[in-house]
Chains A and B, each alone.
Chain A
Amino acid sequence: MQNNQALISVKNLSFSYDRDVILSNINLEVYERDFLVFIGPNGGGKSTLMKLMLGLLPLQSGSIQIFNKKVNTVLSSIGYVPQNTNINLNFPIKAIDVVMMGAKENRKLALEVLEKVAMQEEAETKIGLLSGGQRQRVMIARALYNQPKILLLDEPTSSIDVDGQKQIYELLKKLNEEITIIVISHDLSLIMKYANKVAHINKRLTFHSLESLKAHFSTNDEHICEVELLQMLGKIQ
């Protein structure tokens, strides 16, 4: 289906903290406009893999190339939404200033990306006064401010209620029309409804395209047993 070159290509990647092996021999290719979900148990290495892709952790063995280049040279085309957005809630900063953080000030562009996440009306609100879901959307706007080609999100919906989750998924779906998206998530509805690829990460990586996954489940989609599905994602190759 995709005959173009991989945007991200991870080869023989391993990583360990002291003697604990976190990731072992990971190979992965991500193509343009993929919507890839990383799932797997806590401590399985999902966040570590994402941080390696961002150059936040040093490479130990193997390679990661993005646009055929080293990670550090292409950071401006990657947007990142970290896991915990409830840090520093007392920090005196407005939503719009969070969006422009660390980059050149351009209020017009900042308001544009806030509009994309439907937060333009809260631009001047102190970040700590927003709800968890609103704050999450501001963080997505911040990641979009550099107009990235790839968006990485680490559990973007973990601290948000169900309605807020759905809004964020719909937003990601819309963004996916132009941007390649990788999300760490435990949420199976995200995987079944929005993603096109799934990677189960638990030290090793098991890759699935969603079509083959759905083929395995020839029974109707509505009644998938979550436990069964998760087990399967870990096993089939």
Chain B
Amino acid sequence: MIEALSYEFMQNALLAGLLVSFIAGIMGSLIVVNRMVFLAGGIAHAAYGGIGIALFTGIPIFLGTSIFAVIAAIFMAMVTLKQKENSDIFIGLIWAVGMALGIIFVDLTPGYNVDLMSYLFGSILAVSRDDIIFMAVLLCIILLVLFFWYRELLAISYDSEYAALSGINVKFFYTLLLILSALAVVIAIKVVGLILVIALLTIPIYIAQNITHSLLSMMFTSGLIAWVFTLVGLWFSYTYDLTSGACIILVAGLSLLLFMGVKALR
């Protein structure tokens, strides 16, 4: 393992793991406490539409996917704010239509030979310097949002009705939350893939929820836990030549089982 650290791809992978873990920890916490896990899953799958369109038009995949995911997120925000009762149906619809769009565009792309699996299951070992810059910028944006608006985000997450009474613009912050979630999902796709992204956005958070007393500490504890999962998963992936995304998620899943077992015994 030590000699692996001298490879640039490994250094990039470790750096990406660190950045993505904290992005997932912070945004995952907000997603979980706002009960938006299904919504985040919808965005993750709809994002595949963005991958297809980016491949077809030749724009950078990260950029194309991000734009598409943000549009999907804004659309979902409008729908869920307007039609609370039917929001599940619309999320399912965006989920499926986004994926279908992606598949059609990939079909239409001439000379297509991109490794689809890397989007479905992630490829942290193929992270580039540009990807890392993108991740670092997103983490900075998220930290800035927290710095300025933590109080507002906490209020809308805990009790949006009361937040509205306190004069907080609930719609704005809800939409902001969804846009940042969409970007976090796109980033996490790079590491664990769009099929597995939900696990990274929920498992560390569930564990952190049980051992923290504030949303802020939950965010950073989740980030730390996700980072440990990423490192251990990466080690398994490298040592036994297995798919990295799946390794990370399995490590997370087994840790969760262990955690629940210990919790039940106590």
Query: What residues make up the interface of A, taking CB atoms closer than 8 Å to B?
Result: 54-56, 75-76, 78, 80, 82, 87-88, 90-94, 97-98, 101-103, 105, 124, 126, 142
Q: Are A92's CB and B166's CB within 8 A?
A: no
Q: Are A82's CB and B209's CB within 8 A?
A: no
Alpha-carbon distance between A182 and B152 when the two chains are bound, in angstroms: 28
Q: Quick one: which of A56, A76, A98, A126 contacts B158, CB cutoff 8 A?
A: A98
Please give, as numbers and ranges, the residues of chain B lying within 8 Å of A55 by CB-CB distance: 165
Please give, as numbers and ranges, the residues of chain A lying within 8 Å of B87 by CB-CB distance: none
The 8 closest A-B pairs by CB, nearest first: A102-B166, A102-B155, A92-B218, A92-B212, A101-B155, A102-B163, A126-B213, A94-B213
Alpha-carbon distance between A90 and B32 when the two chains are bound, in angstroms: 10
The verdict on B214 contacting chain A, using a C-beta distance below 8 Å, is yes
Q: Which of B204-262 contact A (CB under 8 A)?
A: 208-209, 212-215, 217-218
**Shortest distance in angstroms between A45's beta carbon and chain B's nearest beta carbon?**
18
Known: A91-B33, A94-B213. A101 touches B162 (CB 8 A): yes
Please give, as numbers and ranges, the residues of chain A lying within 8 Å of B163 by CB-CB distance: 101-102
Please give, as numbers and ranges, the residues of chain A lying within 8 Å of B162 by CB-CB distance: 80, 82, 101-102, 142
Please give, as numbers and ranges, the residues of chain A lying within 8 Å of B154 by CB-CB distance: 93, 97, 101
The verdict on B168 contacting chain A, using a C-beta distance below 8 Å, is yes
Give the number of chain B interface residues (Cβ < 8 Å).
24
Please give, as numbers and ranges, the residues of chain B lying within 8 Å of A82 by CB-CB distance: 159, 161-162
Q: Are B213's CB and A102's CB within 8 A?
A: no
Q: Quick one: which of B33, B161, B212, B218 contacts A88, CB cutoff 8 A?
A: B33
Q: Nearest B residue to A81 by beta-carbon distance?
A: B162
Q: What does the 1/0 interface line of B132-176 toward A look like (CB < 8 Å)?
A: 000000000000000000011011011101111111100000000
Alpha-carbon distance between A89 and B62 when the two chains are bound, in angstroms: 37
Please give, as numbers and ranges, the residues of chain B lying within 8 Å of A105 by CB-CB distance: 151
Alpha-carbon distance between A54 and B165 when the two chains are bound, in angstroms: 7
**Shortest distance in angstroms between B125's beta carbon and chain A's nearest beta carbon?**
34
Q: Are B158's CB and A93's CB within 8 A?
A: yes
Q: What does the 1/0 interface line of B179-214 toward A look like (CB < 8 Å)?
A: 000000000000000000000000000001100111
Please give, as numbers and ranges, the residues of chain B lying within 8 Å of A76 by CB-CB distance: 167
Q: Quick one: which of B151, B167, B208 contacts A75, CB cutoff 8 A?
A: B167
Q: Quick one: which of B159, B166, B214 contacts A87, CB cutoff 8 A?
A: B159
Known: A88-B33, A91-B33, A101-B158. A80 touches B213 (CB 8 A): no
Q: Are B217's CB and A92's CB within 8 A?
A: yes
Alpha-carbon distance between A124 and B157 when the two chains are bound, in angstroms: 19
Q: Nearest B residue to A125 by beta-carbon distance?
A: B213
**Shortest distance in angstroms between A70's beta carbon and chain B's nearest beta carbon?**
14
Alpha-carbon distance between A94 and B209 when the two chains are bound, in angstroms: 13
Please give, as numbers and ranges, the residues of chain A lying within 8 Å of B33 by CB-CB distance: 88, 91-92
Alpha-carbon distance between A66 and B182 when the two chains are bound, in angstroms: 42
28 A-B residue pairs with Cβ-Cβ distance under 8 Å, sorted by A, are A54-B165, A55-B165, A56-B164, A56-B165, A75-B165, A78-B165, A80-B162, A88-B159, A90-B209, A91-B33, A91-B157, A91-B158, A91-B215, A92-B209, A92-B215, A93-B213, A93-B215, A98-B158, A101-B155, A101-B162, A102-B152, A102-B162, A102-B163, A102-B165, A102-B166, A102-B167, A124-B213, A142-B162
